[in-house]
Amino acid sequence: MMGAHVRNAATAARQAGREEREELMASGTIRYWAAAKAAAGTAAERYDAATLADLLDQARKEHAHQPDFERVLARCSFLVDERQVGDRPHGSVELSEGWTVEVLPPFAGGAR
């Protein structure tokens, strides 16, 4: 009898965790530029995600059939609502409702 109670509590905890993550999800747009746009095959997409890491995981799954996508994405920098992400862990970058993420591949040239 005790085993069933533990399993039910574990199931309830997992469900509560899922519901909490769903409540934290925010809708927004990811925009791809230059080589990232070519690798994704689109300029922009809509997603629901809680963090930048969640968003990028979803995008990787969506574009798993496109061989260059992962390689290009690994070299990109990101802006979240016009703010540079830099070296921050992507899981720590929270997305708020209406977010915009810019995916910027390295650009050639620049100021000297």
Round to whole Å and give the CA distance between 50 and 20: 10
Helix (H) and strand (E) counts for the chain? Answer: 4, 5
Could you list the pLDDT tens digit for every one of the 112 residues in the chain? 445 554 565 555 555 555 545 558 999 999 999 999 999 999 999 999 999 999 999 999 999 999 899 999 999 999 999 999 999 999 999 999 999 999 999 876 555 5
pTM of the model: 0.76
8 A C-beta contact, residue 30 and residue 59 = yes
